[in-house]
């Protein structure tokens, strides 16, 4: 194949993509993002399709993929080149998602040999793009620009066979003046060569997929020969934050008049109208007082409209303007003089089938979903996002930390590999101190890289400087710290002194304007706050790592943020799982992670760590976050009033409605709406409750007050009636548990027991139990078959009828279990101890089993057992004494016969596990039982754990054991299989057949517990890497777990483990007692 001869190779000079002296060739200076229009009315549409000065080049392009720049077809950029045999590719897109090359995921390591600024010459996949276009006739005499919003990672451009220029900086725009190269009468050929690797790749080592191509919009833009080149609008509020000054810098390419209009939100009311004269190519500055403007905040994103018209509508552009000041005042980050709290999320650009070519539909979906879950802040990790994000954030209301396209984490891998073996075994924080200084010397503290660093800051700031939503700049992420960060900071402060600058890598806040931490322990935050020097606040740029089943302890973080003004919230890591659509050998579609595409080296599942799934549907963690950050907090209540705190930063509560209900086991009574008082931000207020509440609660033990707070008007992000907060408060306690056995023989039913060898058979009116005295376990439970419905929707066959002997409930006997399939957070911490202590191998060993009739009531049969639960090899154990009381209530229904199980357990031995994952019973429900559904009273409808349950309300709930995604399902299918589906604070649960017949009911004695039910054992889940692999392990039986205690989740996949109060602690002599009734 003929190849394109790279000019730099022939000259002996390094190619542009490996040359620190060449960041751009022939690109225009960076500027604010805007489009030109023919009139103010068209400009105010903010729709590029309404611009006669814009021609989109998105769509189908001819495409060729080569393994190296040296293998590009010779002369492909020439108009006469025949590309008929080339395939077509959609622009924008990432070529790996279109079948060329493969996606590659790393968190830290560079996927190419580390030799900065050089990248491989022979292994640098290159995409050649071609398309043709015609210039609109009315553009003759104008300057025509070619603008790429994002190309990964570097590219050359040709028009009509002539080289236009070069650019790099994958997530920043590049703009070229192509006027001299155009044929204004005929067809023009545009050719682009995109290189997967460049010296810029060393600065783009973010925790995401390595993907390549033209992945954002491409446009032709027409400008008058003399035009507005750029503008910078600043809103300066006075010391009382009442009046403002609109400061405007307009850069023009030549002399002319600039008409300035500021319109109110209705786009018609004129707030300001003036005209400036520019005598030459220059920047003209003007300032105008604006009395008492409506201020912009993330809670009330009120926008004015700035319209600039140059030389009598030769050029018109518009931009939304929000009046706000964001600064640090008395050591606190404030907006318009008020402290704000960042309730944020880190948002990478991700689409499950398009990579980083996200598009407007998914972007809008993300931001609406965030708003509806009370999220108020976005960190554009770790690069500037698509320009549309900032416009939407202005409109919908978000605080945005705009982050430069800069991360060099891979140098830490290089330095760590050079450590002595003993040092590599040190704790992470110790290793970090040993290697980060050396890692910085590669680029961050290396003067020859300064221009590249500062360029990335310039590109971002100039593009996004006019957005009200952008309240702080960030110098990048995990690029250590050095002189080049100081240079970035200095440039940003000179260009835009009104914004705060952030960078977590400046660990001592030596240069930047605020402290920033990642994944701290709760006690570390408290320690910082109590010793705070009053100079700079602290934010958490990453916290609550949302990987898999978690995060835990959201509320505890929020309590600290509310308690200490210097702790100003943070951004959860992260918004979305980054799974990419892939197929199994059998053709089943699933979401793949690192290694699934043959990418080596890789960081596996670490890319699956979002509050939403790969398809951007909510995961359980998002619901918990919404609850933790809800803007109304209940702190006390009785039957007369409720005391709440307004957690908004600016809004009062009277934009909400509050619906009141009283509920309990088996009832919900709606009591209507109550009057919502005007409670100021941060203040407490009393909400009067309906008169009937006291009577409704007093007559029903176990009654809860429920308050539902909803929008009372439509907003840009949700309709009236959308719930922003919900509270429940127990008003009347549950009654004490009583012995449910009948008190008189007249209502009792006989229980018979016969023993033969090791089998004890116990018979009641409905049930027949078989107890294995050799194992000390309940081996069988058969119930008379349920009455058949008149017209069953689903035939359960002979198994459901149970034959003459009844319906067998048990597939395996109830035994205690202490283990769970590890979550991602367990794997980061507790699971290591569980594995070392062989927790998953602990089995019961029967020491005694005896039975008798109850001395005080001959209608019951009592079995008492003693077991030693222990794993092989080790000597630790749990001694368990269990008392089974078999009886019948005398009722003629499926729950008539019951067994009350009372447990006393004691841990002993050397080298016990530090914690248990769970403590409770596990057993299999036989396929014959046909169990397909569960009903319960407790928290629901979704899963809950000790430290992740507040989003789940107490009530009566129901769910299927499994399903196709429609309706509520007990099992939570995480994209990386792990423990899931637990329901907590449960008082009772009932398992039902397809026809609704009751099979088994479990009630926790004296309180509440947990349950889960699925078709998987813990080892099935633990050994499966993907849901499709887990489904192949599906068991016919339903595996039920009834836990009296369950370990919390924490965030130890990257952060602290479960808080001590959420751990199921174990030590020598630890004891537990509990009971439950099965019927």
CA-CA distance, 279 to 256, in Å (whole number)? 7
CA-CA distance, 123 to 195, in Å (whole number)? 10
The continuous run of DSSP H or E covering 369 comes out as helix 360-372
The DSSP code for 787 is P
CA-CA distance, 316 to 321, in Å (whole number)? 16
Name 646's bridge partners: 632
Q: Residue 342's Cα: distance from chain center in Å? A: 15
Q: Could you give the strand order of the β-sheet that contains 632-637, starting from the edge strand earlier in sequence?
A: 632-637, 641-646, 684-688
CB count, 10 Å around CB of 403? 27
Q: Is residue 18 a contact partner of residue 198, using CB atoms and an 8 Å limit?
A: yes
User: 1041 Cβ partners below 8 Å, 6+ apart?
Assistant: 817, 918, 920, 921, 922, 982, 1010, 1011, 1012, 1013
Name 501's bridge partners: 473
Report the helix count and the strand count for the chain, using DSSP H and E. 18, 61
3-state secondary structure 49-60: HHCCCEEECCEE
Q: What's the alpha-carbon Rg for the chain, to the nearest Å?
A: 33
User: 835 Cβ partners below 8 Å, 6+ apart?
Assistant: none
CA-CA distance, 266 to 269, in Å (whole number)? 7
Beta strands in 970-1026 (DSSP E): 983-986, 988-993, 998-1005, 1009-1014
The candidate with the shortest Cα–Cα distance to 909, out of 1073, 1066, 1072, is 1066
Residue where the block lists tokens 């597939």: 811
User: 743 Cβ partners below 8 Å, 6+ apart?
Assistant: none
Sign of CA dihedral 668, 673, 674, 680: positive
Q: How far is CA 940 from CA 521, 722, 937, 983, in A?
A: 29, 19, 8, 7
890: left (phi over 0), alpha (psi -120 to 50) or beta: left
Decide the pairing of beta strands 767-772 and 282-290: unpaired
Q: Residue 370's Cα: distance from chain center in Å? A: 10
Q: Is residue 685 a contact partner of residue 677, using CB atoms and an 8 Å limit?
A: yes
What would the two tokens of residue 288 be? 């105008």
Name 1071's bridge partners: 906
330: left (phi over 0), alpha (psi -120 to 50) or beta: left
3-state secondary structure 411-474: HHHHHHHCCCHHHHCCCHHHHHHHHHHHHHCCCCCCHHHHHHHHHHHHHHHHHHCCCCCEEEEE
Residue where the block lists tokens 């809800």: 630
906, with CB counted inside 10 A (0-12, 13-18, 19+), is middle
Q: Give the end-to-end CA distance of the chain in Å, rounded to a whole number.
A: 77
Question: So which residues are the catalytic ones?
Answer: 478, 542
Coil, strand or helix at 631: coil
Residue where the block lists tokens 């008409």: 259
Q: Is residue 986 a contact partner of residue 939, using CB atoms and an 8 Å limit?
A: yes
The continuous run of DSSP H or E covering 831 comes out as helix 830-836
Name 61's bridge partners: 89
């Amino acid at each position: 194949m003929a190849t394109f001869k790279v000019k730099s190779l022939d000259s002996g000079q390094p190619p542009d993509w490996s040359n620190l002296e060449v960041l751009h060739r022939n690109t225009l200076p960076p500027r604010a993002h805007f489009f030109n229009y023919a009139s103010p009315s068209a400009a105010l549409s903010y729709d590029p399709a309404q611009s006669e000065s814009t021609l989109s080049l998105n769509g189908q392009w001819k495409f060729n993929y080569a393994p190296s720049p040296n293998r590009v077809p010779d002369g492909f950029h020439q108009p006469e080149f025949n590309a008929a045999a080339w395939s077509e590719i959609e622009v924008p897109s990432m070529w790996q998602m279109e079948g060329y090359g493969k996606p590659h995921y790393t968190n830290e390591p560079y996927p190419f040999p580390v030799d900065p600024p050089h990248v491989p010459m022979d292994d640098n996949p290159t995409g050649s793009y071609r398309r043709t276009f015609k210039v609109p006739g009315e553009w003759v005499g104008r300057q025509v620009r070619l603008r790429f919003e994002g190309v990964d990672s570097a590219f050359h451009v040709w028009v009509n066979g002539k080289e236009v220029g070069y650019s790099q900086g994958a997530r920043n725009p590049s703009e070229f003046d192509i006027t001299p190269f155009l044929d204004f009468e005929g067809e023009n050929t545009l050719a682009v060569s995109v290189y997967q690797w460049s010296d810029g790749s060393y600065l783009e080592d973010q925790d995401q997929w390595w993907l390549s191509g033209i992945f954002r919009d491409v446009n032709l833009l027409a400008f008058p020969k003399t035009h507005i080149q750029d503008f910078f609008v600043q809103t300066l509020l006075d010391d009382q934050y009442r009046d403002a000054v609109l400061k405007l810098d307009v850069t023009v390419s030549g002399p002319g008049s600039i008409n300035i209009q500021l319109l109110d939100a209705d786009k018609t009311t004129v707030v300001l109208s003036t005209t400036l004269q520019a005598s030459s190519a220059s920047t003209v500055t003007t300032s105008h007082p604006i009395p008492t403007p409506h201020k912009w905040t993330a809670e009330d994103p009120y926008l004015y409209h700035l319209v600039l018209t140059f030389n009598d509508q030769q050029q018109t552009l518009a931009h939304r303007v929000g009046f706000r000041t964001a600064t640090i005042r008395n050591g606190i980050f404030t907006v318009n003089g008020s402290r704000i709290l960042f309730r944020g999320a880190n948002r990478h650009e991700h689409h499950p089938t398009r990579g980083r070519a996200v598009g407007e539909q998914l972007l809008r979906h993300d931001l609406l979903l965030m708003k509806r879950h009370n999220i108020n802040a976005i960190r554009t990790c770790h690069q500037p996002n698509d320009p549309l994000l900032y416009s939407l954030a202005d409109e919908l209301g978000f605080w945005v930390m705009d982050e430069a396209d800069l991360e060099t984490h891979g140098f830490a891998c290089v330095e760590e590999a050079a450590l002595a073996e003993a040092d590599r075994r040190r704790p992470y924080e110790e290793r970090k101190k040993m290697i980060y200084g050396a890692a910085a010397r590669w680029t961050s503290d290396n003067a020859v890289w300064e221009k590249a660093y500062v360029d990335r800051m310039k590109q971002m700031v100039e593009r996004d400087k006019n957005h009200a939503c952008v309240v702080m700049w960030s110098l990048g992420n995990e690029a250590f710290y050095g002189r080049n960060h100081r240079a970035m900071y200095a440039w940003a402060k000179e260009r835009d002194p009104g914004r705060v600058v952030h960078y977590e890598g400046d660990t001592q806040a030596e240069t930047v304007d605020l402290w920033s931490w990642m994944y701290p322990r709760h006690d570390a935050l408290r320690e910082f706050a109590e010793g705070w020097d009053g100079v700079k606040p602290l934010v958490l740029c990453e916290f609550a790592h949302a990987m898999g089943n978690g995060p835990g302890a959201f509320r505890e973080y929020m309590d600290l943020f509310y308690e200490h003004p210097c702790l100003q919230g943070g951004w959860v890591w992260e918004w979305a799982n980054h799974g990419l659509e892939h197929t199994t050998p059998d053709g089943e579609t699933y979401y793949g992670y690192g290694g699934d595409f043959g990418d080596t080296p890789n960081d596996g599942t670490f890319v699956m760590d979002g509050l939403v799934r790969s398809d951007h549907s909510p995961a359980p963690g998002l619901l918990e976050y919404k609850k933790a950050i809800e803007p109304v907090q209940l702190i006390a209540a009785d039957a007369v009033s409720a005391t709440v705190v307004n957690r908004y930063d600016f809004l009062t509560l009277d934009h909400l409605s509050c619906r009141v209900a009283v509920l309990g086991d088996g009832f919900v009574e709606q009591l209507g709406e109550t009057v919502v008082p005007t409670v100021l931000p941060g203040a407490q207020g009393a909400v009067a409750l309906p008169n009937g509440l006291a009577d409704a609660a007093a007559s029903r033990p176990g009654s809860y007050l429920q308050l539902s707070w909803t929008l009372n008007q439509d907003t840009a992000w949700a309709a009236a009636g959308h719930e922003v907060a919900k509270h429940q408060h127990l008003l009347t306690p549950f009654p004490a548990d009583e012995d449910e056995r009948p008190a008189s023989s007249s209502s009792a039913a006989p229980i018979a027991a016969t023993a033969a060898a090791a089998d004890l058979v116990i018979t009641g009116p409905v049930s027949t139990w078989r107890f294995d005295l050799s194992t000390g376990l309940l081996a069988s439970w058969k119930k008379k078959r349920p009455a058949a419905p008149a017209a069953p929707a689903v035939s359960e066959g002979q198994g459901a009828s149970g034959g003459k002997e009844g319906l067998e409930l048990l597939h395996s006997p109830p035994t205690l279990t202490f283990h769970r399939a590890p979550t991602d957070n367990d794997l980061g911490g507790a699971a290591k101890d569980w594995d070392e202590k062989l927790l998953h191998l602990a089995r019961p060993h029967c020491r005694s089993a005896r039975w008798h009739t109850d001395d005080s009531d001959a209608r019951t049969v009592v079995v008492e057992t003693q077991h030693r639960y222990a794993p092989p090899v080790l000597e630790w154990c749990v001694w368990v004494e269990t008392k089974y009381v078999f009886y019948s209530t005398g009722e003629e229904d499926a729950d008539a016969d019951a067994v009350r199980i009372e447990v006393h357990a004691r841990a002993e031995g050397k080298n016990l596990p530090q914690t248990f994952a769970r403590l409770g019973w596990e057993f299999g429900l036989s396929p014959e039982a046909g169990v397909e559904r569960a009903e319960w009273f407790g928290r629901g409808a979704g899963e809950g754990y000790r430290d992740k349950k507040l989003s789940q309300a107490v009530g009566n709930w129901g769910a299927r054991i499994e399903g196709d995604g429609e309706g509520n399902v007990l099992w939570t299918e995480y994209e990386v299989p792990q423990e899931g589906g637990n329901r907590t604070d449960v008082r009772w649960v009932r398992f039902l057949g397809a026809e609704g017949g009751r099979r088994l009911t479990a009630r926790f004695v004296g309180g509440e517990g947990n349950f889960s039910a699925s078709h998987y054992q813990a080892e099935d889940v633990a050994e499966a890497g993907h849901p499709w692999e887990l489904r192949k392990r599906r068991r016919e039986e339903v595996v039920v777990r009834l836990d009296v205690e369950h370990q919390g989740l924490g965030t130890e996949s990257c952060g602290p483990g479960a808080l001590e109060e959420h751990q199921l602690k174990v030590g020598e002599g630890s004891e537990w007692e509990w009971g439950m009734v099965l019927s």
